[in-house]
Amino acid sequence: MEYRKLGHTELDVSLIGLGTMTWGEQNTEADAHAQIDYALSQGVNLLDAAEMYPVPPKPETQGRTEQYIGTWLARTGRRKDIVLATKVAGPARQPHQPRHLRNGDTSLDAKNINEAVNGSLKRLQTDYIDLYQLHWPDRSTNTFGRLGYPWIDDDSTVAIEETLSALADLIKAGKVRYIGVSNETPWGVAQFIKASEKLGLPRIVSIQNPYSLLNRTYEVGLSEFSHREKIGLLAYSPLGFGALTGKYLNGALPAGSRFALFDRFSRYSKPEATQAITEYVNLAKRNGLSPAQFALAFVNSRPFTTSTLIGATTLEQLKENIASVNVTLGEDILAEIDAIHLRIQNPAP
C-alpha cells in the first residue's frame, strides 16, 4: 500500500480509502466487518462514512453505516489502526438531499454541527473523529451533477466563518482532529482558506469530490488548490458507481447492483457516458487490464489525489479494487485516455 500525507498534516493515509455508503442498505453488518478486516490486512487505514449513510438516505436506515463501524471498533479495539472520517449533512436544497435529519434543520451552524458530531461519536463508539467533513455546502451551488452555477439567492445561509468557528471549537474540545469539505467549489475552498487566515482558525486539509474517467471537472479549478494550498482530494465515485467496470454495458442490470436497485444514477447511462465507458473498457482490455483496476489506477496516479475512495458490495470487488495500487499506467495509455477525454469530456459529472 502507498501512503500520502493528509493535506499539510503529518498524518499518513492510504492511497486506497474504504468507502462505506452501502453498509446498512446493500451490505449487512457482517459484510461491513469483513470488508474492514480485509482492507486493513492490505494496508488500508482510511475509512470514510457520513451521518446520513447508507445511500439512498432514508429515515429508517440513517446512521446504520456509522453503527456498523462502531460495533467493529467495539469488537476489535483497533481504533488507533484506522483514520476515521465522517461527515455532517448540509441543508436540503436539492430534491435528493435528505430532509429527515434533525427535523429538517441541517444548517451548518454551531447547534447543528454539535448535535451531528455527538450523534456520530455515539454511533461510532469512539471519542474522536480524525477527519470531520462538511458533506456539501450551506448554499445553493453547482454540485451533484449540476455543471452550471444556479444563480439562486438562498433565503438563508450560514456564513463560512461561522461554520469554521464551530468546527474549530470541536478541535479544541478534542472531538475532531482535522476538518475538510466535500462537494465544494473553487470559490468555497478559497473562502475557507480566507476565513482561516483572517480569523486564525484551523485550515481545511481535504476536499472530497467526485473524480473519475467520466468526471474530470476537479482538474479545472480545484486541482491548483491541492497543489498550492496542500488540500488533497479524497476522490469519490472513482468507478462512476461501478459503471466503469463495464458491467452495465449493452443494457445489462446485474442483480443486486446499484443501477438495478436505484434510479438515482441515470447520468451514467446517457449515450455520451455509455460511449466513453465502452472506449475506456476496450482500452483497458487491449492492455490486459481489468476495467475496474484500469479506472482506479488512473485516479491513483493523479498528483492531487490523496486517497481514492472505493466502495464494494462483495469481498471479490474489494480485493480487485484494492489491488489497483499495483497497477501503473504507462505514458502511452495515459495519452490514449486523454485522447478519449478530449472527444468525450466529462459525460457524467
pLDDT in tens, the chain (349 residues): 999 999 999 999 999 999 999 999 999 999 999 999 999 999 999 999 999 999 999 999 999 999 999 999 999 999 999 999 999 999 988 888 899 999 999 999 999 999 999 999 999 999 999 999 999 999 999 888 788 899 999 989 999 999 999 999 999 999 999 999 999 999 999 999 999 999 999 999 999 999 999 999 999 999 999 999 999 999 999 999 999 999 989 887 777 777 767 766 667 878 999 999 999 999 999 999 999 999 999 999 999 999 999 999 999 999 999 999 999 999 999 999 999 999 999 999 8
Say what the pLDDT of residue 264 is.
60
Distance CA(135)–CA(180), nearest Å, equals: 9
Phi/psi of residue 213, nearest 5 degrees: -60, -25
Say what the pLDDT of residue 117 is.
98
Count the helix, strand and coil residues of the chain and give each as a percent rounded to the nearest 5.
45, 15, 40
Say what the pLDDT of residue 48 is.
98
Of the candidates 332, 212, 331, 325, the one whose C-alpha atom is nearest the C-alpha of residue 273 is: 212
Say what the pLDDT of residue 265 is.
62
Regarding the domain delimited by 3-240+295-328, which CATH topology (the fold level of the hierarchy) does it fall under? TIM Barrel (3.20.20)
- Say which residue the cell 455532517 belongs to: 88
* Active-site residue flag, 236: no
Of the candidates 290, 294, 292, 324, the one whose C-alpha atom is nearest the C-alpha of residue 307 is: 324
Of the candidates 23, 132, 135, the one whose C-alpha atom is nearest the C-alpha of residue 85 is: 132
Distance CA(123)–CA(51), nearest Å, equals: 9
- The active-site residue, picked from 53, 178, 236, 280, is 53
Say what the pLDDT of residue 174 is.
98
Say what the pLDDT of residue 96 is.
82
Give residue 330's region: left, alpha or beta (phi > 0; psi -120 to 50): beta
Phi/psi of residue 265, nearest 5 degrees: -115, 35
> Is beta strand 12-14 parallel, antiparallel or unpaired with respect to 3-5?
antiparallel
Say what the pLDDT of residue 269 is.
79
